[in-house]
Structure 1
Amino acid sequence: MLRFVEHILKNFLESARFQNFITGIIILNSALIGLETYPEIVKDYEPLIDTFDMVILVCFTIEIALKIFIYRRKFFTNGWDVFDFIVIGISILPAAGSFSIFRALRIIRTLRLLKSLPKLRLIIESLLHSLPSIGWIVVLLGIVYYIYAVVGYNLFQEGYPEYFGTLDKAFFTLFQIMTLESWSSAIARPIMDGVPYSAIYFVTFILIATYTTLNVFIAIVVNTMNQLAIAGMHEEEEHIKSFVASQNKLLHQKLDQLQEEMESLKGKK
């Protein structure tokens, strides 16, 4: 009886309708938290907003409790389920007194959309799988930064100490240049007026640090995304093949049973 109940609950939790319901609850929760940033709305509808928030939290808590009941230890082997557990655990913390800061952390529930939306989940998983390769890009970028920071300090520290007076100032200036935020009017052109040929320094840094590195970063993420998508397709194909094989085996068993019954009937005649 218990296994039957678990089977029913498992099918219910994994159904498309329930997943869509949870997604809708997450979006509603995010909208309510956004409304609380308007004092006039909170003043008029605070009891209603708090009621909805409590109902939403109860729905999330029941979902997590049912999953733990059904999957037991297996629940904590799934990274996304553990993520949901932590998010809801933070939401349950008291929201009054010295714990009032945790009330603002309810917005973290919105992150559950990362799991509920398959396409968004694929992007996040691609980024996570890309971290080892991205780490080497960070190392490469750090080397480039260090070289250009030291060169910039030696070239510009006397005339422009606010930008290249120290190594840390040079790092921050290079970061601003890499973001392309006012790099030309605020940094490059004033320095170019006082230091001839300094344009070579800025142009080469932008080409290496911004365009080349950024394109390599994008290429790694896209390549990982394609690999995960292909792996997902193969997994789905294997699941279909396994299902077809099991159904084929069941069909053969039924045919063998039917044949035995027919032979039994012939023997009686």
Structure 2
Amino acid sequence: MVSGFEQLGRGVTGKQSERLIAECGPLVNRNTKLVDEDGKCNGIDVYGLSKLMDYLEDYKPSEPFLRHSILGQNKPLPFQREVRRYYCHPIVVWTVAGIIIANFIVNIVEKEIDADRSHLKYASFWDGADTVFNVLFLVELLWNMYGYGFGRAFWESGWNVFDFFITGVGVILLAGVSGPISQLKLLRAFRVFRLFKRIKSLNKIIMALLASVPGVANAFVILFIFFCIYAILAVELFREFGINGTYMTDDVDSLSHVVSSITPRGYTHGIEYYGTYTRAMYTLFQVMTGDSWAEAICRTLLFGLYQRSTLAVSFFYISFAILTQFVLSNVIVAVLLDNFVAPPPDGLKDPEVTELIEYVKAEVAKAPRPQLAPGDRVQDEKMVELELSSYARGAVAGAVPLFDAELVTRRVDRMEQSMLRLEAKLGQVLDKMIKLQALPGERREPPPIHLGKPQGR
């Protein structure tokens, strides 16, 4: 049951689960065999779990904004709940995702084969495609806003605000504006970010990145401090290198060589790479990324600064590379990975569980449910997990559809009928086996056949 609630985004502890089973199980279960002779409930069947989730949705709705709208509190728009359910349907979600990807591909193709804005070859096609995509995105935005009842809850989501801004820019461009405001077309490239809202797996990545910002920021501060320290030292140590336009190197045979220190840009080596604090910072960033720093930056100083004494230059660059590339960079990666582990859903608190139990008792007392006959069968745990998985797949970026208890009940009834037919067929097989054993010869008892009673949760 704990895993079932977690799949539905409603976490409960093991102790809370035991309370719900013990106190709510007898009220919602269809299988009376789940209650022993002492009156203790040992599990909850799929029908009971669906009813319990239905009661939980009424007591603590996953999307409370469905009860309200721009008309006021507890005044939803006509068919608002149904509009929201269809908007969150996987088919609609992947259709919108396909449209976003198609728009992104069209933008890529446009910049590849028709990049010159002053002499467009297929201007009519690009304008037509942009108009179609803008209209589709506008319809999708209005659909989403209607599901929120055009109320304040829509603006409480950052993804909704981003959708409104990007789609609003597209609508403005449809009016054929010109001048500086026409540069808003550049924002079309950011439409692909809307995928992070529509596809749940991508949304988890973005939310994990946002959740890791505080920890990563601390790691970046430490990294920045080390950069500052090494940049200050680099300016002090290396700024005057080759200041006269040349520097001298000594090889192992004590032969001296005079080498030009003028860079392709006309500066001396020390001035170009370490002339100021900001230049030293950029040079050290190049060192951290491994962008040919060993040959262009380090070796020049290694052979020409102190000739035969290479210890200072070697220690400077090796210590910097170890600290930045091997230590602090991995710390940042570790912080990111730590936040990618999905946290458990916000669980119900003990007082909320108590209130839920009282709510279920009150609701059941209003309309008692009929119980199954003692010989009837109910679903097993696999069916429960199947129903919960199909329910969880309908959740997209935090939007959870309503739990259809009647649909689950019909499936349970069909499963019970199938079990009865299976028992009848097994009985026929058993009769044939008994008849075969009645033939002349050694008589053996047929092996027992165990149907196995499904266990509830």
TM-score by length of 2: 0.50
Counterpart of 1:13 in structure 2 is 87
Counterpart of 1:185 in structure 2 is 295
Kept after mapping to 2: 8 A contact 1:76/1:82: yes
Q: Residue type of the partner of 2:292?
A: S
Q: Residue type of the partner of 1:194?
A: G
Select the residue among 96, 113, 120 that pairs with 1:22. 96
Write the deviation string for residues 186-207 of structure 1: whole angstroms up to 9, x where unpaired: 1011111123221111111011
Select the residue among 123, 141, 152 that pairs with 2:234. 152
Cα drift, residue 43 of structure 1: 5.5
Q: Residue type of the partner of 2:158?
A: G
Instruction: Please tell me whether Structure 1 or Structure 2 has the larger radius of gyration of its CA atoms.
Output: 2
Kept after mapping to 1: 8 A contact 2:220/2:332: no
Counterpart of 2:188 in structure 1 is 106
Select the residue among 193, 197, 204 that pairs with 2:319. 204
Are residue 121 (structure 1) and residue 189 (structure 2) matched?
no
d(CA) in 2 for partners of 1:257 and 1:182?
76
Kept after mapping to 1: 8 A contact 2:114/2:122: no
Counterpart of 2:272 in structure 1 is 162
SS of the residue corresponding to residue 205 of structure 1 reads helix
More helix by share: 1
Cα drift, residue 257 of structure 1: 5.5
d(CA) in 2 for partners of 1:40 and 1:26?
21
Aligned length: 250
Write the deviation string for residues 56-86 of structure 1: whole angstroms up to 9, x where unpaired: 2111112212222331211111121112112
d(CA) in 1 for partners of 2:158 and 2:115?
40
Select the residue among 43, 48, 52 that pairs with 2:129. 52
Higher normalized contact order (CA 8 Å, seq sep 6+, divided by chain length): 2
SS of the residue corresponding to residue 344 of structure 2 reads helix
Counterpart of 2:343 in structure 1 is 230
Instruction: For structure 1, list consecutive stretches of 5 or more residues without a partner in the other structure.
Output: 236-240, 260-269
Q: Residue type of the partner of 2:323?
A: I
Write the deviation string for residues 222-269 of structure 1: whole angstroms up to 9, x where unpaired: 10111xx1325x66xxxxx9xxx89x879955972659xxxxxxxxxx
Q: Residue type of the partner of 2:107?
A: I
d(CA) in 2 for partners of 1:250 and 1:28?
52
Kept after mapping to 2: 8 A contact 1:93/1:102: no
Cα drift, residue 32 of structure 1: 1.4
Q: Residue type of the partner of 2:114?
A: P
Q: Residue type of the partner of 1:39?
A: D
d(CA) in 2 for partners of 1:40 and 1:202?
43
The equivalences for 1:74-113 within 5 A come to: 74-94=153-173, 96-98=177-179, 99-113=181-195
TM-score by length of 1: 0.82
Between 148-157 and 99-108, the greater mean CA deviation after superposition? 99-108
Alpha carbon RMSD of aligned pairs, Å?
3.1
The equivalences for 1:165-176 within 5 A come to: 165-176=275-286
Are residue 135 (structure 1) and residue 250 (structure 2) matched?
no
Kept after mapping to 1: 8 A contact 2:231/2:280: yes
Kept after mapping to 2: 8 A contact 1:152/1:170: yes
SS of the residue corresponding to residue 100 of structure 1 reads helix
d(CA) in 2 for partners of 1:75 and 1:114?
17
Cα drift, residue 170 of structure 1: 1.1
SS of the residue corresponding to residue 343 of structure 2 reads helix
